[in-house]
Amino acid sequence: MRDDEIDLLLSPLPSGRHGLPREAVVRSQRIRLLRGAIHVAARDGYAGMTVTAVIGQASVSRKTFYELFADREDCFLAAYEHMTERALSRLHDMLAPDAPWSARLRDGLAWALDALARHPDEAQVAFVEVLAGGPHALARRDRFAERLARLLADGFEAAPRDVAIPASTPTAVVGALSELIAAQVRRGQAAQLPDALPDMLYCALAPFLGPAAAAAAAAADPRLLAAAARRG
């Protein structure tokens, strides 16, 4: 789904008889409730997220909310699934095997950090509030991490042939990057996430390529040099 399509779905529906198909109305209401849940959970925390706050943010009736979701947890989980599925779809396309693995990983990570910086509510929900969402939210988080780890599988082929890389390496890399992102989000610094690209790219590449090759691959990207210059 393109961003302009999402913007259209998030717009309030015309009042009165608008002639829109029922399917379009329901889709718009559902998307607005998902976005409302993300905004409220980011603002108030999952513990403070209420149905009243979500429907107020989404401009959708309570009756409609309960036609679409069982309760606030169901809405929160659906919102988490919605944003992570979109992210996985984009990352899958960017990591398709049409360039060296290190370059594809660099581009995918750069896109992810830029997207999180532009959407701090999603960053807060995906990396902080999901931890407070209970066992069902944690199970979805684990599945998301597993799917991210599978995107790193090409790292085994990129590794030196005489080096045995543990099978758990992709999972470890995803865990490390997730914690680095979460720490910055918790500090209220989501907007600065793109500047963390050099460190995060090195952390992702080094277990597969070794420290020297990882450092060289990171330094070869002009965007990383620009980020370093901004920090300096």
pLDDT at position 10 over 70: no
* Contact assessment for residue 204 and residue 177, using Cβ atoms and an 8 Å cutoff: yes
Cα separation, 145 vs 26, in Å, equals 30
Rounded mean pLDDT of 202-212?
95
Confidence of residue 218 (pLDDT cuts 50, 70, 90): confident
Q: Check whether 93 has a pLDDT greater than 50.
A: yes
Number of folded domains in the chain? 2
Both 104 and 40 in a single domain?
Answer: no
**CATH number, domain at 48?**
1.10.10
User: pLDDT grade, residue 3 (50/70/90)?
Assistant: very low
> Angle at Cα 82 formed by Cα 77 and Cα 87, nearest 5°?
125
Is there a single domain that holds both residue 125 and residue 138?
yes
Q: Which domain holds residue 60?
A: 3-70
Q: What DSSP string describes 188-232? A: T-GGGGGGGHHHHHHHHHHHHH-HHHHHHHHHT-HHHHHHHHHH-
The pTM for the full model equals: 0.84
According to the model, what pLDDT value does residue 187 have? Answer: 96
Mean pLDDT value across the chain = 87
Same domain, 89 and 139: yes
pLDDT for 105-145, tens place per residue? 999 999 999 999 999 999 999 999 999 999 999 999 999 99
**What pLDDT, in 10s, does the model give residues 25-70?**
889 899 999 999 999 999 999 999 999 999 999 999 999 999 999 9
Assign 3-class secondary structure to 56-92.
HHHCCCHHHHHHHCCCHHHHHHHHHHHHHHHHHHHHH
Identify whether residues 35 and 89 lie together within a single domain: no
Nearest residue to 157 (alpha-carbon basis) of 202, 212, 100 = 100
User: Are 45 and 95 found together in one domain?
Assistant: no
